[in-house]
Amino acid sequence: MVNKDDFLYPRGRYYGQVKPENLVFNANLQEFAQKVSYICNLETGGKLPPDEAYEQIKALWKHLKQTKKQLRIGEDPFNNDQDKAED
């Protein structure tokens, strides 16, 4: 029997560099993509007005950006602000 959550919120494998912050961000990114897909389908089906769909996706995007910043994805952990000031 298939778990309802696995069916509604499938997760793909992660092939990138295995670090805890990357795994968390990947899970958040997959959740973002799934929610955007649902919102788009609701808007396409006439169940959600375009402006509401836009606002919901915009809010999801802001949350994803905040998560990326909190996890420090893409930042060099050995490069701090002092190094930039000396250059």
Residue 55: the pLDDT is: 98
Query: What total of structural domains would you count in the chain?
Result: 1
Helix axes 50-71, 20-44, angle to 10 degrees: 180
Instruction: State the residue range of the domain holding 61.
Output: 17-70
Residue 32: the pLDDT is: 96
- At residue 25 the predicted structure's pLDDT band, cuts being 50, 70 and 90, is very high
Q: Which residue has the tokens 């959600």?
A: 48
Q: Is residue 5 assigned to a domain?
A: no
Q: Are 28 and 64 spatial neighbours (Cβ–Cβ below 8 Å)?
A: yes
Q: Is residue 41 assigned to a domain?
A: yes
Residue 39's nearest CA partner among 61, 6, 13 is 61
Q: Is residue 9 assigned to a domain?
A: no
Q: Is residue 8 assigned to a domain?
A: no
Q: Are 73 and 25 spatial neighbours (Cβ–Cβ below 8 Å)?
A: yes
Among 26-30, 48-52, 81-85, the minimum mean pLDDT is found in 81-85
**What pLDDT digit, counting tens, does each position of 51-80 carry?**
999 999 999 999 999 999 999 998 876 765
Radius of gyration of the chain from its Cα atoms, rounded to whole angstroms: 18
Q: Is residue 76 assigned to a domain?
A: no
